[in-house]
Amino acid sequence: MELKTIKGVGAKTEQAFNRAGVYQAEDLIDYYPRYYDTYEAPVLVRDLETDRTQAVFGTVARDIVVRRVKNLTLTEAFIRDANGDSIKCVWFNAPYLKNQLQIGATFVFRGFVKELRQALVIDQPKMFKQDEYNNKMGSMQPVYPLVKGLTNNVVTKAVRDTLEQISKAEFLPQSVRDKYDLLDVKDAVKQIHFPKNTQEFQVARKRFAFEEFFRFINNLQSLKAENEKHKNTHRIEDYTEAENLLNNLPFDLTKAQVNVWNEIKKDMSSDGVMNRLVQGDVGSGKTIVAVLGLLSAAANGYQGAIMAPTEVLAKQHYEGMLELFDDNDIDMNVVMLTGSMTAKEKKEVYEVIESGKANIIVGTHALIQEAVNYKDLALVVTDEQHRFGVRQREAISNKGENPHVLVMSATPIPRTLAIIMYGDLDISIIDEMPAGRLAIGNALVDTSYRPNAYDFIEKQVQAGRQAYIICPTVEYSEAVEGENVIEYAEKLEKIFPPSIKVAYLHGRMKNDEKNKIMDAFARNEIQVLVSTTVVEVGVNVPNATVMMVENAERFGLAQLHQLRGRVGRGSEQSYCIFVDGSKDKIKKERLQVLCNTNDGFKIANEDLKLRGPGDFFGVRQSGDYEFRMGDILNDADVLKQAADSYKMLMEGELPMTDKERKILEEDVIKDLNL
Ligand code: ADP
Ligand code: MG
């Protein structure tokens, strides 16, 4: 249905809606509010609090004042409450209010309360007759995301009108809705836009979160069925080269690594195509397993590619492989492709890739750009998969003709959820750390401990080691509290003797600069690296033994565990110092979990237990897995229900009609926001 057919929507409004991504009336159904405004009971003037929206029932006490300030008209009224206390209300450019605001007129004045010259004022309140306000009280008014040309009123009316005229098709089979007490789509839509109370909102939100997960699972499972049909056209049977390399490595693979490597070999030499996830905690040694696979693909005459989420990590893989192959006299052409390369550099790499002169290709998202044509891609690896979507994983695999797919992740989510989220893949687990690793020593401290920490770092550096210090922000800002990288690095330069080189790293730096700093740190030309979480994923500098995290309370547990994974990667004892910048007991307890265990899965489980159910939009914390409504951690139960019900439907334990089945089959859209 065209937008213009909605009451009150003309050409201008239509254009504004287009800018907001709404092209037809149907889109409005899915145009969810950002949050809801609840009309609370009016309060007395003496109970007003600054910086929030509140309402006062009051009587206009004096003649109003209309003044001109610069080029604005300012309307001011004093209102008095039942207790006789008064407060000023101010409006800009609203001289017409004069008629309404006669002395003695009573209204509920509702607006944002703020402090102006040491007194509270209500800023541009809206006025309601008392019974009008009573009607609204306890209701939740949707507040929609807006763009220029749209007001909340316009959107609200348009949504209301649309819902009266059209309805959305039901996606979830009846049997599933019955089993899990889910609203039907009609009520859910109504209640997500116009809930009467939080309860109504919650059940509507749950229904949509369920649907989102359910569709995700439906898509993954079809992908799986599709992949299972593929025949192996890149049979990799000769593993001499990889086995030679293995024999020359300065270490033995752990038993877990050997098992995974065997599974990979079996997959790649079988009749089918490999689709495998290698899950292993940070530092468990996933890279070498991937390298063995890539080397085998290349040695069998094909190409192999590995995609990493950051340029720093891609570069590290690239250089690591060059060095490894060089040390072991392996003659393979490894090339790198990243976004920050010049057009000319890229073009040269495209050519060696296309001609087949490149055997192994390492890179970032640049690997899936249109201009890249591979010669004969037999294996694609994505590292730190939780940073990519399913779609990007598919995109790289579509660059070849059904290549083998190896996905690596130190999944920061509990295993039960991981099995669902990676439902289209076979899963291998590296559940063992390389021998000789000492457990990381952890300390949770407050800011008064800093001088000791600096002494400690200095001693470690004098013993030849290096340290990371993580700060939550890049530079000083009034708006955000917390330590920042730039000032922190300056401070440390004064504290440490000049022999200790301090540098900083953050995401806003140019890729070139970042690479330079990381290289210098890897070569121990920099001893103390002050950084934002850009070093979070994958970075491997085994000589670094101290990880100090400032404002640890500001990070998620899974993220802190990833950060901690940057140390303890060599044979030296490593340490992690979490500095709690808050004085909050609950936050401290949460951080304590990290000190109690170094096991990523245990931490993910604890993290899950410590969360209450998320109540509103915008509380999604497991940001690496983006869903619109659901959050895989906060809504873990819903995710499991969706997975269970899907399985039951497929196995016939829950019935569905032919029509319902058809809807599921037709939903396998490649552009679902996966
Ligand atoms: P992650 O699983 O986090 O990607 P990496 O693959 O980067 O971990 O490995 C971390 C470090 O452990 C690297 O320096 C790597 O060379 C080393 N390593 C890997 N496997 C072993 C092993 N079996 N024994 C000793 N060290 C190993
Ligand atoms: Mg890694």
Q: What is the 3-state secondary structure (H, E, C) of 1-70?
A: CEHHHCCCCCHHHHHHHHHCCCCEHHHHHCCCCCEEEECCCCCCHHHCCCCEEEEEEEEECCCCEEEEEC
Comparing CA positions, the residue from 407, 404, 419 lying closest to residue 227 is 404
pLDDT given at position 674: 44
Residue 630 has, within 13 A of its CA and on its CB side, a CA count of 25
285 CA → ligand 1 middle, Å: 3
- For ligand 1, the distance from its centroid to the CA atom of residue 541, given in whole angstroms, is 11
User: d(Cα 44, Cα 58) in Å, to the nearest integer?
Assistant: 9
Q: Please state the φ and ψ torsions of residue 362, each to the nearest 5 degrees.
A: -115, 140
Ligand closest to Cα of 562 equals: 1
Residue whose CA is closest, atom 11 of ligand 1? Answer: 569
Could you tell me if 46 and 21 are in contact, meaning their C-beta atoms sit under 8 angstroms apart? no
What is the pLDDT, as a whole number, of residue 176?
97
Q: Which atom of ligand 1 is nearest to the CA of 280?
A: 2
CA of 599 to the centre of ligand 2 (A): 16
Instruction: Find out whether the beta carbon of 406 lies less than 6 Å from any atom of ligand 1.
Output: no
The residue whose CA is least distant from atom 19 of ligand 1 is 285
> What is the rounded CA–CA span in Å between residue 333 and residue 476?
45
> Which SS3 state, helix, strand or coil, does residue 242 take?
helix
Nearest alpha carbon, ligand 1 atom 17: 285
Task: Render the burial of 418-427: b for 16+ CB within 10 Å, e for the rest.
Answer: bebbbbbbeb
* pLDDT tens-digit map of 68-91: 888 888 999 999 999 999 999 999
Separation in Å, CA 379 to CA 234, 264, 274, 285, 633? 9, 11, 9, 19, 32
- 253 Cα nearest atom in ligand 1: 23
List the residue whose alpha carbon is closest to atom 23 of ligand 1: 253
Residue 537 CA to residue 307 CA, distance in Å, equals: 13
The residues pairing with 72 across neighbouring beta strands, listed in sequence order, are: 69
Q: How many helices (H) and strands (E) does the chain have?
A: 22, 21
Best residue among 260, 288, 382, 535 to mutate for probing ligand 1, ranked by most atoms within 8 Å of CB: 288
> Are 42 and 133 in contact, with CB atoms under 8 Å apart?
yes
* Nearest residue by C-alpha to atom 10 in ligand 1: 283
Residue 188 phi, psi dihedral angles, 5° rounding? -60, -45
Nearest protein CA to atom 25 of ligand 1, as residue: 434
CA–centroid distance, 289 to ligand 2, in Å, is 10
Q: Is 284's C-beta closer than 6 angstroms to any atom of ligand 1?
A: yes
Distance, CA of 382 to CA of 396 (rounded, Å) = 9
Q: Is the pLDDT of residue 621 over 50?
A: no
CA of 327 to the centre of ligand 1 (A): 17
pLDDT at 277: 94
Q: How far apart are CA 539 and CA 520, in angstroms?
A: 13
Q: How many CB atoms lie within 10 A of CB 458?
A: 18
Distance CA 119, CA 527 (A): 52
- Specify whether the CB–CB gap between 663 and 169 falls below 8 A: yes
Atom of ligand 1 nearest to the CA of 542: 14
Residue 507 DSSP code: T
CB 59 within 8 A of CB 106: yes
Alpha-carbon dihedral sign for residues 581, 583, 589, 592: positive
Q: What is the pLDDT of residue 669?
A: 60
Average pLDDT, the chain: 90
- Assess whether the C-beta atom of 568 lies below 6 angstroms from ligand 1: no
- Residue 562 Cβ inside 6 Å of ligand 1? The answer reads no
- pLDDT bucket at 563, cuts 50 / 70 / 90: very high
Confirm or reject: Cβ of 569 under 6 Å from ligand 1. yes
pLDDT attached to residue 602 = 84
287 alpha carbon – ligand 1 mean position (Å): 7
Whether residue 355 is predicted with pLDDT greater than 90 in this model: the reply is yes
Give the mutation target among 278, 284, 287 for probing the ligand 1 site: most ligand atoms within 8 A of CB. 287
Percent of the chain whose predicted confidence (pLDDT) is above 90: 67
Give the number of the atom of ligand 1 that is nearest the alpha carbon of residue 565.
Answer: 3
Residue position matching structure tokens 């030679």 = 244
pLDDT tens track for 573-606: 999 999 999 888 888 988 999 999 888 888 877 8
- What ranges in 300-338 are assigned the alpha helix state H? 311-327
Instruction: Report the C-alpha gap between 138 and 506 in whole angstroms.
Output: 46
Span between the terminal Cα atoms of the chain, in Å? 27
**218 Cα–ligand 2 center, Å:** 30
Is the Cβ atom of 434 under 6 angstroms away from ligand 1?
Answer: yes
Of 607, 613, 612, 608, the C-alpha closest to 203 is 613
Q: So what's the pLDDT on residue 673? A: 44
Which residue has the CA at smallest separation from atom 24 of ligand 1? 434
pLDDT the model gives residue 481: 79
Q: State the pLDDT at residue 137.
A: 86
Q: Based on C-alpha coordinates, what's the Rg of the chain?
A: 30
One DSSP character per residue, 164-176 reads HH--PPP-S-HHH
Instruction: Categorize the per-residue pLDDT at 437 as very low, low, confident or very high, splitting at 50, 70 and 90.
Output: confident
Q: Is 251 in the pocket of ligand 1 (CB under 6 A)?
A: yes
Residue whose Cα lies nearest atom 18 of ligand 1: it is 285
Q: What is the 289 CA–ligand 1 centroid distance (Å)? A: 9
Count Cβ atoms within 10 A of the Cβ of residue 375 and give its class: 0-12 exposed, 13-18 middle, 19 or more buried. middle
Cα of 508 to ligand 1 centre, how many Å?
29
Rounded to the nearest angstrom, the distance between the alpha carbon of 93 and the centre of ligand 2 is: 59
The tokens of 291 are what? 């390298």
- Measured from the CB, is residue 254 less than 6 Å from ligand 1? yes
Answer whether 566's CB lies under 8 Å from 544's CB.
yes
- Could you tell me if 362 and 389 are in contact, meaning their C-beta atoms sit under 8 angstroms apart? no
Q: For ligand 1, what atom is nearest to the CA of residue 288?
A: 6
Give Cα separations from 19 to 10, 31, 75 (angstroms): 14, 13, 34
Residue nearest to atom 12 of ligand 1 (CA): 285
Cβ of 282 closer than 6 Å to ligand 1, yes or no, is yes
Q: Is the pLDDT of residue 538 over 90?
A: no
Q: What is the structure's pLDDT at 445?
A: 96
With a pLDDT cut of 70, the percent of the chain lying above it is 96
pLDDT in tens, 359-391: 999 999 999 888 899 999 999 999 987 777 777
Question: Does residue 537 line the site of ligand 1, with CB under 6 A?
Answer: no
Predicted local confidence at residue 517, as pLDDT: 93
Average pLDDT, stretch 396-415?
86
Under the banding of pLDDT at 50, 70 and 90, the label for residue 611 is: low
Question: In whole angstroms, how far apart are CA 47 and each of 83, 87, 498?
Answer: 11, 12, 57
Query: Are the C-beta atoms of residues 595 and 444 closer than 8 Å to each other?
Result: yes
Predicted confidence (pLDDT) per residue in 252-272, tens digit: 999 999 999 999 999 999 999
